[in-house]
Amino acid sequence: MIKKFFITGTDTNIGKTFVSQILLKKANQYGYNTAGYKPVSSGCKKTSFGFLNNDAIILKKNSSVELNYQEVNPVAFIENAPPHILSDIYTQEIKIQQLSLGLKNIMKKSNWILIEGAGGWYTPLSYEKTFSDWVKKEKLIVVIVIGIKLGCINHAILTEKAIISDKLKCGGWIANNIFPKNQYNHYYIQTLLKYIKSPLLGIIPYFKNKNYINLNEIKIKLPQ
């Protein structure tokens, strides 16, 4: 059976990719044939291989199966802006069928797939469709990454309610300490435990240097 999970966040820049690589590393330890998939990205840097998205590079690096860049990130925009706006400006349509085709291709190689969205749950892919529409089409299990900061409680509650209202399974949530711990972080997490119905999969401590991750320092469960 192929396990497929969609990673969404309570906002942009709250550590979806950082958490995704931790989950991939953990799944690798369990012996899964893992693959990271970033269907749509914006914000690419120039490399010797062309313009590449850093999130997609990280997902590719932490996948246990061999994937080329195009397989990991089929739709990429150079500028860092909402995908639907760039799609409109550059007349590069984001086709739902293309995202599904990319996922289908990866399913031939992997039995544990982590799909990273862009921004939050209702990030638009066009003026008619949001990322959530594609997730509903593929019936993916959703995992919420919550960046622990002021405002995260409201965003987290709204995100989970939206996922449930879309008749999808929320496989759990992960608290990501994106800033050095302050006196309120514990209270944020305790409040989330009271309001969020899906299970807490883990709490990621603040890492000053995110290039060196010791999995032994992180207690995290894989979503089911």
- Residues with catalytic annotation? 38
117 marked ligand binding residue: yes
Question: DSSP of the chain, one letter per residue?
Answer: --EEEEEEESSSSSSHHHHHHHHHHHHHHTT--EEEE-SEEE--EEETTEEE-HHHHHHHHT-SS---HHHH-SEEESS-S-HHHHHHHTT----HHHHHHHHHHHHTT-SEEEEEEEEETT-BSSSS-BHHHHHHHHT-EEEEEEE-STTHHHHHHHHHHHHHHTT--EEEEEEE--SS--TTHHHHHHHHHHH--SPEEEEEPP-S-TT---GGG--BPPP-
119 marked ligand binding residue: yes
13 marked ligand binding residue: yes
17 marked ligand binding residue: yes
Site of tokens 């709250």: 14
50 marked ligand binding residue: no
91 marked ligand binding residue: no
116 marked ligand binding residue: yes
Contact, 79 vs 43, CB < 8 A?
Answer: yes
Determine the Cα–Cα distance for residues 11 and 48; give it in Å rounded to an integer: 31
Both tokens of 112, joined, read 């544990």
**What residue numbers does the annotated binding site cover?**
13-18, 42, 55, 116-119, 176-177, 211
**What residue numbers does the annotated binding site for substrate cover?**
42
**What residue numbers does the annotated binding site for ATP cover?**
13-18, 55, 116-119, 176-177, 211
